[in-house]
Amino acid sequence: MVRIILPYIISLSVNVFIVSTMSDSGKTVIVSALLRILSTRGFHVSPFKAQNMSLNSYPSIEGGEIALAQAMQAYVAGVKPSIYHNPVLIKPMSSTKAEYIILGKSRAQLLFNEYLNNGAIRRLAINAVKASIRKLTEDFDLVIGEGAGSAYEPNLVSRDIANFRPAEWLRANVFVVLDIDRGGSFIQGLGLMSSLPPRWRKLVKGFIINKFRGDEKLLGTAIKWLEKKTGKPVLGVLPYVDDLWLWPEDSMDLRPIGNGPLDIALIAYPYVSNFNDIYSLILEDDVTVRIVRSPRELGEPHLIILPGSKNVVASLEWMRRVGLDKALMKFKGSAVILGICGGFQAMGKVLSDPYGLEAGIPGNYDGLGLINVNTIYGADKIVSLSRAVGLRGEIEGVEISGYEIHRGVPQYVGDDPLIVIRERNGRDVEQKDGVFREEDLMIGITLHDSLGDPIFRNFVLNMAREVAGLPKRNSLELSSIELLLRQIDKFSSIIKNTLDIDSMINDG
């Protein structure tokens, strides 16, 4: 029966675009759930975010770099992450400057106002967005798009290519997510509709109220008020869900994990990136992951994690400024210290940046000196899905998988590598990486998502368990993508029971 009806449904379907009045309103989660639901119904669906600002990124199938959130949405939709899912990625390097990645490739490092006023880079970005829309609409039954931040800001709207312009180019039905948890959602909805020019107002087909706590009946009067004022329906009210672990878009998603006896401290320095590396730890019921930003908060952990960083030099300067550099030295040999990518680089002796692409200014910079490894930053960025083989410890001879996004290459000046990377994007390589100094309990690795590999996670956590006097154990053998699908299915069931998805994709 489904096979007979499905082609008819698809022929009437229209793309969907989710916007909001603010960041962190739940757009990414709602888009992910819609993709999951439609994919399981048999639709060939694609995520799309024209422009994203995020320090969390991921390799695409083409070998380019896209936002981690759109990679997540691709996996949820049952497709491989592509540069066309996120044609413009902005990665902040400082409070005024960012790296601009267009169709997967780093194109420039500019001040924010330079990006807005640079005609050449803007044309490149606009053309990339339009080319991506053409590609996706040709290859997929449906595209589920997502806006960025607030959908209409008067100082940006004339140059905004993240919200209503791509929605218009997609010819999509637009739905506005209102975050009721932070208050003012009904007024925000009215304010947005009052601000929009008529042609964009027509694209809006309704509102979705998100993150509600309490009795939905209490909203009845307010919902009727908003519908009367705007002429647009409220499609549904979604509850606040606080135990959902999806791949993060920005540092607002950084939060503690668990309540077990194994105490883990995550150092949350500025420009922390790809901290989804720790998300697989939710599978471990004996861990507690605390977010640490000062020596006082460090406590007496059994494991300290130095995560990735977009600007390792700035993160090191911050650690020195707040005193975490000296605090970390006290745990040498008494707690496991794990550095991942930028965190691994920060653990070393010298960071050499001859082009100034990491620090912003060419030079040599001191690391924490916890390990005898230097880092040299090249002009070319390595962006790859990678496979490696362990060289030492409990992972000797074992294959470890993950992904790489970095310019830094380790140079060994006394310590030995932990792994050798054998494959990048399907191509054979031979690159020594990481470090393992057992006597000092130091572990470093460049591969993101390595903790998502159960064997590597066992290796690290069992060392920490030994420090804590806890019994060793084996992790649940579940990949990070399988874990992701389990998590999104929780929210998808809520969406299915709350929103009329057929009406959202109906072109009538």
Is residue 228 over pLDDT 50?
yes
**pLDDT reported for residue 116:** 83
Catalytic pick among 85, 302, 406, 448: 448
Give 246's pLDDT tier (boundaries 50, 70, 90).
confident
pLDDT at 1 over 90: no
Contact 180, 202 (CB under 8 A): no
Instruction: Point out the catalytic residue in the list 85, 302, 341, 406.
Output: 341
Measured CA to CA, the distance from residue 165 to residue 167 in angstroms comes to 5
CA distance 306 to 340: 6
Whether 44 is catalytic: no
5, pLDDT greater than 60: no
Confidence of residue 251 (pLDDT cuts 50, 70, 90): low
pTM for the predicted model, two decimal places: 0.91
Q: Which regions of the chain carry the CATH code 3.40.50.880?
A: 254-470
Q: Which two tokens stand for residue 142?
A: 């449906």
Which of 59-63, 241-245, 364-368 bottoms out in mean pLDDT, i.e. has the lowest? 241-245
Rounded Cα distance, 182 and 185, in Å: 8
Write out the H or E segment, with its range, that includes residue 258.
strand 257-258
Whether 197 has a pLDDT exceeding 70, the answer reads: yes
Which of 372, 333, 328 is closest to 350 using CA atoms? 372
Taking residues 154-159, what's their average pLDDT? 90
In tens, the pLDDT along 114-150 reads: 888 888 999 999 999 999 999 999 999 999 999 999 9
Percentage of residues in the chain with pLDDT exceeding 70?
A: 97
Is residue 182 predicted with pLDDT exceeding 70? yes
**Residue 370 host element (H or E):** none
pLDDT at 3 over 60: no
Place of tokens 């490696």: 388
Q: Which residue has the tokens 């698809």?
A: 10
pLDDT mean across residues, the chain: 93
Residue 290 pLDDT > 60, yes or no? yes
Q: What is the pLDDT of residue 307?
A: 96
Is residue 187 within 8 A of residue 226, CB to CB? The reply is no
pLDDT in tens, 378-424: 999 999 999 999 999 999 999 999 999 999 999 999 999 999 999 99
Written as six digits, the tokens of 385 are: 């899905």
Band of residue 12 on the pLDDT scale cut at 50, 70, 90: low
In this prediction, residue 177 carries a pLDDT of 97
CATH homologous superfamily, domain 13-245+486-501: P-loop containing nucleotide triphosphate hydrolases (3.40.50.300)
User: Token digits for 444?
Assistant: 């470093």
Nearest-CA neighbor of 36 among 485, 352, 420, 341? Answer: 485
Q: How far apart are CA 209 and CA 191, in angstroms?
A: 15
pLDDT, tens digit (0-9, with 9 covering 90-100), for 93-111: 888 889 999 999 999 999 8
235/205 Cα distance (integer angstroms) = 9
pLDDT at 376 over 70: yes
What value does the mean pLDDT take over residues 423-438?
A: 96
Mean pLDDT of 21-37: 94
Region(s) of the chain under CATH 3.40.50.300: 13-245+486-501
Q: Which of 4-8, 219-223, 420-424, 435-439 is least confident? A: 4-8
pLDDT for the residue 442: 98
Identify the band that residue 245 occupies on the pLDDT scale cut at 50, 70 and 90: confident
Average pLDDT, integer, range 350-362 = 92
* Per-residue pLDDT reduced to its tens digit, 266-282: 999 988 989 889 989 99
Evaluate if residue 8 carries a pLDDT over 70.
no
Specify the pLDDT at position 236.
94
Which whole number is the average pLDDT over 31-43? 96
- Specify the pLDDT at position 337: 98
What pLDDT does 506 receive? 87
Report residue 87's pLDDT band, with 50, 70 and 90 as the boundaries.
very high
Whether 198 has a pLDDT exceeding 90, the answer reads: yes
**Does residue 7 register a pLDDT over 80?**
no
Q: Is pLDDT above 90 for 492?
A: yes
Cα first-last separation, the chain: 23
What is the model's pLDDT at position 508? 61
What percent of the chain shows pLDDT beyond 90? 81
341 part of the active site: yes
Hey, what CATH topology would domain 254-470 get? Rossmann fold (3.40.50)
As a whole number, mean pLDDT of residues 228-240 equals 95
